[in-house]
């Protein structure tokens, strides 16, 4: 069967071709319409003519398999797909606006703005990884932001779904991707680690905050392989005012070994959203690249550049959750706090990559004028931060695994829920208050959190 020439006015399976929006190396994008459509749509058609790259049709086949399985605001909504033997295509939601590629003329961006962009992308990656997918092509042209603020990840032709066959891995020997953003382990044919996406996001953050790419523009395989043993120039050497907390995050993303990066996209998003809580290491004030002795050791010790096997995306996420524990620091809460600490300790012992966020709600009055000082003249907020750290001391956690947060709110339950949603918390621990008249009339904080939380909730009662 002769395939039709795609042109404006052509109708394919009820979709009317309207306007060509983009012509790329592997596919063409068209604006399309249909009488019953409730949203703007575009059609993606692969290039599969004489002389075209055979990888184009394989990557399109991967996208046809993956996109219908995805949902949520961080991906374009799937509408329909065409039969590969007749006319291959994918129809999806057309998102208004431009990709981050349009921002390149403005680089370098202000640090706070770049961190906010990075936090949004990390949140989108966390959502994608929870759906068993590694994107493998994070770059400015594949990222948009909805008018409501959510980052949207585009183009799943190079993606890996860990519950589907990986056709690119099975059929091709060379790695596919965009050279400046490709993680080192990808060069060793490893496509199973979600932390590869965190490396690519680190490249983007470096580029957006310095104006230069950390590994240059090399497209040759030989040039790309240098990142297996050579670290980038620290951003603070390029910009003297570069914030230490941001360099800590960016260089951690760009670590050669995936195990040295953030364990999950959720933990990366957490750091970008809480710069004051970032634990600084030697990375933060580095001005020079690693010495040549370290570089040569990496280059000739193959054990240092051999990728570690990752059983599954879900397994990697489950091993490194963000656990939030709501601690009451007022008098009379010691017994339940002891039980909370014991429960947190058991969870953290079994999950050495987990992060603990200790939170306390400083309740504000609905109509009263609140003061920042107590009757002794102490700052309430600072005192509670200190109390949270004191509560966590017996757990003996590394600084990188612990953060403390005092939330000021009228409604404690709503504050805890909002913290959990915005910080991608996987598990909430909190204590249950004893019976009281107020509790029976208004309902308990723990009951509301348990009913509405986006994650697992464990309610702890004091032992009797």
pLDDT in tens, 152-202: 999 999 999 999 988 888 777 677 888 999 999 999 888 999 999 999 999
Q: Both 356 and 311 in a single domain?
A: no
Q: Which of 142, 126, 263, 259 is nearest to 190 (CA)?
A: 259
From 316, 340, 358, the end of a domain falls on 316
From 297, 316, 335, the end of a domain falls on 316
Q: How much is the mean pLDDT over the chain? A: 89
Compute the distance between CA of residue 244 and CA of residue 410 in angstroms, rounded to an integer.
Answer: 34
Q: What is the pLDDT of residue 240?
A: 96
Q: What is the pLDDT of residue 312?
A: 80
Q: What is the pLDDT of residue 364?
A: 78
CATH number at residue 307: 1.10.510.10
Q: Both 162 and 72 in a single domain?
A: no
Instruction: State which of 113-117, 300-304, 360-364 shows the largest mean pLDDT.
Output: 113-117
Q: Both 269 and 287 in a single domain?
A: yes
Worst-scoring range by mean pLDDT, 41-55, 111-125, 214-228?
A: 41-55
On whether residue 40 sits in a domain, the answer given is yes
Q: Both 266 and 348 in a single domain?
A: no
Q: What is the pLDDT of residue 1?
A: 43
Per-residue pLDDT averaged across 333-346, rounded? 91
Do residues 43 and 30 lie in contact, with contact meaning Cβ atoms separated by under 8 Å? yes
From 25, 58, 93, the end of a domain falls on 93
Full-model pTM: 0.91
The maximal CA–CA distance of the chain, rounded, in angstroms, is 86
pLDDT in tens, 133-159: 999 999 999 999 999 999 999 999 999
Q: Both 190 and 312 in a single domain?
A: yes
Pairing status of strand 41-46 against strand 27-33: antiparallel
Q: Both 278 and 336 in a single domain?
A: no
Compute the distance between CA of residue 376 and CA of residue 383 in angstroms, rounded to an integer.
Answer: 12
CATH number at residue 376: 3.40.50.620
Structural domain of residue 216, as residue ranges?
100-316
On whether residue 5 sits in a domain, the answer given is no
On whether residue 3 sits in a domain, the answer given is no
Q: Both 148 and 83 in a single domain?
A: no
In the numeric block, which tokens belong to residue 265?
């996209």
Q: At what angle do helices 334-350 and 380-392 cross, to 10 degrees?
A: 60
On whether residue 75 sits in a domain, the answer given is yes
User: Cα angle vertex 276, ends 256, 459, to 5°?
Assistant: 95
Q: Both 87 and 113 in a single domain?
A: no
Q: Both 264 and 295 in a single domain?
A: yes
Q: Both 300 and 347 in a single domain?
A: no
Q: What is the pLDDT of residue 24?
A: 81
Q: Both 305 and 453 in a single domain?
A: no
Q: At what angle do helices 244-253 and 265-273 cross, to 10 degrees?
A: 170
pLDDT in tens, 245-258: 999 999 999 999 99
Q: Both 87 and 222 in a single domain?
A: no
DSSP state of 329: -
Please state the domain count of the chain: 3
Number of Cβ within 10 Å of residue 206's Cβ equals 27
pLDDT in tens, 43-59: 999 887 655 567 788 88
On whether residue 72 sits in a domain, the answer given is yes
CATH number at residue 75: 3.30.200.20
On whether residue 253 sits in a domain, the answer given is yes
* 448: enclosing H helix or E strand: helix 445-452
Compute the distance between CA of residue 450 and CA of residue 444 in angstroms, rounded to an integer.
Answer: 10
In the numeric block, which tokens belong to residue 123?
């949140």
On whether residue 2 sits in a domain, the answer given is no
On whether residue 192 sits in a domain, the answer given is yes
């Amino acid at each position: 069967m002769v395939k039709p020439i795609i042109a404006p006015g052509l109708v394919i399976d009820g979709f009317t071709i309207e306007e060509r929006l983009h012509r790329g190396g592997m596919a063409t994008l068209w604006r399309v319409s249909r009488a019953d459509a409730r949203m703007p749509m575009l059609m993606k058609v692969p290039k599969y003519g004489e002389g075209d790259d055979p990888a184009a049709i394989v990557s399109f086949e991967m996208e046809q398999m993956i996109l219908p399985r995805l949902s949520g605001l961080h991906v374009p909504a799937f509408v329909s797909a065409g039969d590969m033997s007749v006319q291959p295509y994918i129809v999806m939601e057309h998102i208004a606006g431009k990709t981050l590629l349009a921002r390149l003329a403005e680089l370098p961006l202000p640090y706070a703005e770049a961190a906010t962009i990075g936090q949004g992308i990390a949140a989108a990656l966390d959502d994608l990884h929870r759906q068993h997918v590694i994107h493998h092509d994070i770059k400015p042209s594949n990222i948009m932001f909805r008018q409501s603020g959510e980052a949207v990840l585009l183009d799943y032709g190079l993606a890996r779904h860990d519950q589907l066959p990986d056709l690119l891995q099975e059929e091709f020997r060379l790695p596919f991707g965009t050279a400046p953003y490709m993680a080192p382990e990808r060069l060793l044919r490893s496509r199973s680690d979600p932390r590869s996406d965190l490396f690519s996001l680190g490249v983007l953050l470096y580029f957006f905050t310095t104006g230069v790419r950390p590994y240059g523009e090399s497209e040759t395989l030989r040039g790309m392989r240098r990142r297996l043993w050579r670290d980038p120039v620290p951003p603070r050497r390029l910009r003297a005012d570069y914030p230490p907390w941001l360099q800590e995050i960016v260089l951690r993303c760009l670590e050669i070994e995936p195990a040295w990066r953030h364990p999950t996209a959720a933990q990366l998003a957490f750091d970008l959203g809480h710069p004051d809580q970032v634990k600084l290491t030697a990375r933060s004030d580095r001005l020079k690249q690693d010495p040549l002795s370290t570089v040569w050791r990496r280059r000739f010790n193959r054990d240092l550049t051999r990728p570690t096997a990752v059983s599954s995306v879900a397994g990697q996420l489950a091993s490194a959750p963000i656990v939030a524990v709501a601690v009451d620091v007022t008098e009379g809460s010691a017994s339940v706090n002891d039980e909370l600490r014991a429960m947190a300790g058991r969870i953290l012992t079994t999950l050495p990559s987990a992060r603990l966020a200790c939170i306390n709600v400083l309740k504000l009055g609905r109509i009263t004028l609140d003061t920042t000082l107590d009757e002794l003249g102490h700052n309430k907020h600072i005192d509670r931060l200190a109390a949270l750290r004191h509560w966590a001391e017996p757990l003996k956690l590394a600084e990188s695994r612990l953060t403390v947060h005092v939330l000021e709110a009228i409604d404690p339950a709503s504050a805890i829920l909002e913290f959990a949603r915005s910080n991608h918390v996987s598990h909430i621990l909190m204590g249950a208050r004893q019976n009281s008249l107020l509790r029976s009339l208004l309902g308990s904080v723990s009951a509301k959190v348990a009913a509405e939380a986006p994650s697992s909730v464990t309610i702890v009662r004091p032992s009797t």
